[in-house]
Structure 1
């Protein structure tokens, strides 16, 4: 059995945190390793528990989820992925979270099994965007490129946007895994982004996926 997905639950309502923990702890492949009630405690708990996935509410007192996303991006050594869980249903309301590095979002009325599936998908490297959010990102236009991507780098980026690992990309494109890693590093540098999630979002915005 692989190690369980380590999840940090962040919400300002204790009853919500308890409900999420109760359900997620029933999953054989998911383990809740901590809880937090606001932006500051989210970052502190992320530093302490080093979760694979953070389930993050957007609206919290003492610093909202967007502030937490920015702080997590600056947290040294943190490589976890963030899945926003929100009551906002307007796509424009979650755009700041996506731009700040969230790997995706779900609504609070989501069915519990679908939430577990979303956590697994985000952990596997997928970016979960509602089509309306992807459309709004596309309408905003692509971010500036430091240097134009090569044809091979565009192929690799398209695979990154599909949530594939370096090993899977190497197999799909007939490359050495080390070569794929080099391409990914070059892509991040050229696009001026910090991680694979942001690179995948660029691919969504420009239609590369």
Structure 2
């Protein structure tokens, strides 16, 4: 599976690269620190899965990136990664087409569970926000 990471914090992105890229069958095919760069990279080489931070610098955030990406590439599965558990943002991400919403407070195992779930065509929400 081809995976793209979209996270503006370099340390977080490096950790995601080590975790996800170290899993059998997964290859990190792109990384970006903002939405415009991610959109351009995905146009050249669409991944199977994108892990996207909700808060990105630049002209648009992770929710708008999700909308724009899925208009062009509806086959891409997107997991929004965020420290934000506000119901309005969770709803906005899901309405934009995100297949999953994972809180950054969750464990690495939870991220891997989320990835497996969305790649099977199902939706994934962090356990702590199921009531949101």
Superposition TM-score, scaled by structure 1 size = 0.58
CA contact (8 A) 2:39 2:69 kept: yes
Partner of 2:130: 131
The number of equivalent residue pairs is 128
4+ residue segments displaced more than 3 Å: none
CA contact (8 A) 1:11 1:57 kept: yes
Q: Distance in 2 between matches of 1:91 and 1:106?
A: 13
Higher relative contact order (CA 8 A, sep 6+): 2
Q: Distance in 2 between matches of 1:46 and 1:80?
A: 9
Question: Is structure 2 residue 56 aligned with structure 1 residue 72?
Answer: no
Q: CA RMSD in A?
A: 1.4
Question: Is structure 2 residue 52 aligned with structure 1 residue 53?
Answer: no
Question: Is structure 2 residue 97 aligned with structure 1 residue 97?
Answer: no
Deviation at 1:78, TM superposition (A): 4.7
CA contact (8 A) 1:104 1:122 kept: yes
Gaps of 5+ in 2: none
Structure whose residues are more often strand by fraction: 2
State the structure with more CA Rg. Answer: 1
User: Helix, strand or coil: the match of 2:124?
Assistant: coil
Q: Deviations over 1:108-139 (max 9, x none)?
A: 12211221121111011011134224xxxxxx
Question: Is structure 2 residue 1 aligned with structure 1 residue 32?
Answer: no
Q: Distance in 1 between matches of 2:31 and 2:113?
A: 20
CA contact (8 A) 1:47 1:78 kept: no
Q: Distance in 2 between matches of 1:23 and 1:91?
A: 28
After the TM superposition, which residues 1-209 of structure 1 pair with which residues of structure 2 at under 5 Å, given as runs? 5-62=1-58, 63-75=60-72, 77-129=73-125, 130-133=129-132
